[in-house]
Structure 1
Amino acid sequence: MIDYNTLRNFPIPEVRQRVTPRDAVFYALSVGLGQDPMDRRQLDFTDADRALRVLPSMAVVLAHPGFWAADPATGIDAVKVVHGEQSITLHHPLPAEGEIIGRTRVTGLIDKGEGKGALLYSEKELRDAATGTLLAVTGSTTFLRGDGGFGGPSGPVKPVNPVPETPPDITVDLPTRPEQALYYRLNGDNNPLHSDPDVAAKAGFPRPILHGLCTLGVVAHALLRELGDYREDSMKSLALRFSSPVFPGETIRTEIWRDGAFRARVVERDVVVVNNGKAVFA
């Protein structure tokens, strides 16, 4: 069982990562760029022989602390962990090469009650190791499905962004690949829920699911294409809620409003997988 004070103050190790152009290219490929061989704009993110650009959403995997929730000392039932929400605030374009420092900490813990799970809020700060420049801050809400009823606080719960009731202004369909989760986990998120059928079954899924952050990468690609014209410095912030898992091989349809609101659904099942999204572009 979770101990509130232990988890609230859990020491997540600082991570230093030496980023290379290969890392930037691999990340772009792992979230689906390059599937259209005639889209020359995508080559700026996937061809290291060009003046390489880095996708803003790569902030979620840079200096990633790994699946630290699986450490028995946390008290978390790691098999039942699901990514609930994610945000990114960009302060500076991400470099394609250099050393980056990531410092992650738990910022909040909400007890939803016995049998109802818990919410864990965490934040990661990314800085350039050489200059100390703040590059980005990412925020996560993790739903601990098996850990409610530990006697912790019941609030405050973060508010969600409303989605317009009008039809979306833009719709973008981007396919995922059947093996995409196996590629994406090489970015540093090796949770077996995304690779091992037996672990997926224990968690209540018929097969391994796509990482929530991979779904985010696909959606962020659609947003960058439509609202930022592939300018990597145009995206200033992004926040969303994961509402249902994506299975590798499904098509993600991102529905976008001109004010930056968005949601996404899988075409094959017509299920909303990302909701309450809000993006800010310069």
Structure 2
Amino acid sequence: MGDSSVIDPAAIISHKFPETTYTYNERDTALYALGVGACLRDALDDKELKYVYHQDGQQSIQVLPTFAALFSLGITSKIAQLPGMVYDPRLLLHGQQYIEIYKPLPSSGCIQNKVSVSGLHDKGKATILECEIVSYEKDTGELLCMNRSAVYLRGAGGFSKSSLPYSYSKYPSNQNLAFKIPKSQPFAVFEDCTQPSQALLYRLSGDYNPLHSDPMVAEIAGQSYHQMYLQRRSELD
């Protein structure tokens, strides 16, 4: 159990993050596309080549919508700013990412990000923290997209002051994050593979979590994930 004296839910929820900017160019968008597997099997596939090359110049390449997830990469450092939030960064798990895209992303630009806490849940042995990142074009102020990132902080739970576990959500129905799994068979199936070094390529887009590149950190985290899985299985059984 975590130490309940180090976590103040009211202070966490009301915390005001400073606005930040994220600047990128055509090289960054192309590198991201390669990092997530564009043209991995066929460098001439025009359906994927458009994300890394354009005959009219790099300023004309298209941007994968999921590139918007990079706008929230600094969320880990922002969690460290939260009052009273003590956790082991090696045990942080990126649990969920929800994105809304309001217009196509430009191939380069400067993005203004506004961050707020949108959820906080005491799970006993862990805490789930949800943060919302709203992104605008800095020059025009036009709304581009919104990210909601949920991180699972193992060892940081147990701060509830009553027998009922503490749970706060900016969206009480959690309608945007709850999906029903259909019982029917899928209409289409697509199988793909990743290269052994692909995580090392993807991290160049800004995800420098050592879990994906440091063998020792990965081993420590892997053992913890396995233990957490076994514990969860025992609870279900």
> Which TM-score applies when normalising by structure 1?
0.66
Partner of 1:97: 108
Are residue 199 (structure 1) and residue 217 (structure 2) matched?
yes
Q: After TM superposition, where is structure 1 displaced by more than 6 Å over at least 4 residues in a row?
A: none
**Which is helix-richer, 1 or 2?**
2
Are residue 187 (structure 1) and residue 205 (structure 2) matched?
yes
Distance 2:190 2:198 in 1: 19
Partner of 1:42: 48
1:198 counterpart letter in structure 2: M
Shift of 1:127: 0.4
5 Å-filtered alignment, 1:165-184, equals 165-184=183-202
Is 1:63–1:100's contact at 8 Å kept on the other side of the alignment?
no
Are residue 154 (structure 1) and residue 163 (structure 2) matched?
no
5 Å-filtered alignment, 1:240-255, equals none
Partner of 2:181: 163
Secondary structure in 2 matching 1:28: helix
Is 1:12–1:65's contact at 8 Å kept on the other side of the alignment?
no
Distance 1:198 1:5 in 2: 36
Is 1:70–1:78's contact at 8 Å kept on the other side of the alignment?
no
Is 1:83–1:142's contact at 8 Å kept on the other side of the alignment?
yes
Shift of 1:60: 0.5
Are residue 137 (structure 1) and residue 140 (structure 2) matched?
no
Shift of 1:57: 0.6
2:186 counterpart letter in structure 1: P
> Where does structure 2 lack aligned partners over 5 or more consecutive residues?
1-5, 230-237
1:57 counterpart letter in structure 2: T
Distance 2:12 2:195 in 1: 36
Distance 1:143 1:206 in 2: 13
> Which TM-score applies when normalising by structure 2?
0.77
Distance 2:82 2:213 in 1: 21
Query: How many residues matched?
Result: 206
Query: Which one has the largest radius of gyration?
Result: 2
Shift of 1:64: 3.5
1:127 counterpart letter in structure 2: Y
List per-residue Cα deviations over 1:60-104 (Å, max 9, x = no partner). Answer: 103642531456963122221111121111111101122111222
**Which is strand-richer, 1 or 2?**
1
Is 2:87–2:154's contact at 8 Å kept on the other side of the alignment?
no
Partner of 1:31: 36
1:182 counterpart letter in structure 2: L
Residue 127 (structure 2) aligned to one of 101, 118, 132 = 118
Partner of 1:216: none
User: Aligned-pair RMSD on alpha carbons?
Assistant: 2.5
Distance 1:148 1:165 in 2: 34
Relative contact order: is structure 1 or structure 2 higher (C-alpha 8 Å, sep ≥ 6)?
A: 2
List per-residue Cα deviations over 1:138-171 (Å, max 9, x = no partner). Answer: 1111111221101261355746201111111111
Task: Describe the shift of the 1:47–1:86 C-alpha distance in structure 2 as closer, same or farther (beyond 3 A).
Answer: same
Distance 1:197 1:206 in 2: 14
Shift of 1:206: 9.2
Q: Identity of paired residues, percent?
A: 35
Is 1:12–1:105's contact at 8 Å kept on the other side of the alignment?
yes
Distance 1:103 1:97 in 2: 19
Secondary structure in 2 matching 1:5: helix
Secondary structure in 1 matching 2:222: coil
Secondary structure in 2 matching 1:61: helix
1:190 counterpart letter in structure 2: Y
